[in-house]
Structure 1
Amino acid sequence: MRIRTRGSRTTAAALALTLGTGLLAGCGDTASAKPDNQITVWSLENLPPRMAVGREVVARFEKKTGVEVKLVGVDESKLPQLIMSAAAAGNLPDVIGAVPLGQIWQMYGNELLDTKLTGEIVDDLGPGTFNDNALGLASDDGTRLAVPSDSWQQILVYRKDMLERAGLPVPDSYADLRRAAKTLDEGPGTGISLATDPSDLFTQQSFESFALANDCRLVESDDVALESPACRTAFAAYDELASEYGADGVQTVDTTRATYFAGRSPIIMWSSFLLDELAGLRKDALPSCPACQKDPGYLAENSGVVTALEGPDGAEPAQFGEISSWAVTRTAEKEASGKFVRFMLDEGYEEWFGMAPEGKIPVREGTASDPDRFQQAWRASEIGVDSKKPLEEVYPSELLDRMSEGVGNMRRWGITQGEGLLVGATNGELPVPQAIGAMASDQIPPREAARQADEEVTALRESLQ
Structure 2
Amino acid sequence: MKKKIILLLISVLFLIISCGGSKKSNETGELEGEIVFWHSFTQGPRNEFMKQAAEEFMKKNPKVKIKIETFAWPEFYTKWTTGLQAGQVPDVSTALPNHVVELLQADALVPIDDVIDHIGKDRFYAAPLTEGELNGKHYSIPLYSHAQVMWYRKDLLQAAGLEVPKTWAELFEAAKKLNNPPQVYGLSVPMGLGDMMATRFLNFYVRSAGETLITKDGKANLTSKAAIDGINYWVNMYKAVSPKGSVNFKVLDQATLYYQGKTAFDFNSGFQIGGVKQNSPDLLDKIAAAPIPKINATDPEQGIETSNIPVIVWKNSKHPEIAKAFVESLYEKEKYIKFLHSVPGGMLPALKDISNDPAYLDNPIIKQFQDTITVINNAVDKGTAIGMESGPKPEAGIITSQGVIEKMFQEIILKNVPVEEAAKKAEKELNDLFAAAK
Q: Same fold (TM over 0.5)?
A: yes
Asked whether 1:301 is paired with 2:285, we answer yes
Which of 359, 381, 402 aligns to 1:429? It is: 402
Report deviation, 1:323.
1.8
Larger deviation, residues 223-232 vs 136-145: 136-145
Q: What's 2:66 paired with?
A: 70
| Corresponding residue number in structure 2 for 1:392 | 366
| Structure 2 counterpart of 1:357 | 344
CA distance in 2, matches of 1:407, 1:204: 19
Q: Kindly provide the CA deviation profile for residues 207-233 of structure 1, in whole angstroms up to 9, marking residues without a partner as x.
A: 323432223312214122222222122
Cα offsets for 1:63-93 (capped at 9, x unmatched): 3355614132231334345435554555542
TM-fit CA distance, 1:326: 0.8
**Stretches of structure 2 lacking an aligned partner (at least 5 in a row):** 1-23
In 1: Cα distance, 2:152 partner to 2:109 partner? 41
Is contact 1:214–1:234 with CA below 8 Å preserved after alignment? no
Per-residue CA deviations over 1:89-108 (Å, capped at 9, x if unaligned) read: 555422113x1112111211
Amino acid aligned to 1:138: G
Task: Tell me if the contact between 2:150 and 2:290 (Cα under 8 Å) persists in the aligned partners.
Answer: yes
Number of aligned residue pairs: 402
Aligned equivalents of 1:86, 1:323: Cα separation in 2: 24
TM-score, L = length of structure 1? 0.77
Q: Which structure would you say has the larger Rg?
A: 2
Please give the secondary structure, in 1, of the residue aligned with 2:222: coil
* SS of aligned partner of 1:219: coil
Amino acid of the structure 2 residue aligned with 1:201: M
SS at match of 1:319: coil
1:332-347 to 2 correspondence within 5 Å? 332=317, 333-347=319-333
What residue number does 2:6 align with?
Answer: none
Q: 1:218 aligns with which of 209, 213, 216?
A: 213
| 1:391–1:449 CA distance, 2 compared to 1 (3 A) | farther
SS in 1 for 2:325: helix
Of 69-78 and 233-242, deviating more is 69-78
On the 8 A contact 2:148/2:379 being kept in 1, the answer is: no
1:414 matched residue in structure 2 = 387
Q: Identify the residue that residue 95 of structure 1 maps to in structure 2.
A: 92
Residue 432 of structure 1: how far off its partner (Å): 1.1
TM superposition shift of 1:256: 4.0
| Corresponding position: 1:58 with 2:54 | yes
Q: Which residue of 2 aligns with 1:11?
A: none
CA distance in 2, matches of 1:343, 1:235: 45
Amino acid aligned to 1:361: L
Q: Does the 8 A contact of 1:358 with 1:391 survive in 2?
A: yes
**2:11 corresponding residue in structure 1:** none
TM-score when scaled to structure 2?
A: 0.81
Structure 2 residue aligned with 1:232: 228
- Aligned equivalent of 1:125, options 96, 103, 119: 119
Aligned-residue sequence identity (percent) comes to 19
Distance 1:277 1:63, change over 3 A: same
Shift of 1:430: 0.8
String of CA shifts for 1:126-162, please: whole Å, max 9, x gaps.
2221122222333346432300111233232112232
Query: Do structure 1's residue 404 and structure 2's residue 401 form an aligned pair?
Result: no
Match of 2:188 among 188, 193, 209: 193
Distance 1:325 1:228 in 2: 33
Aligned residue identity for 2:132: A
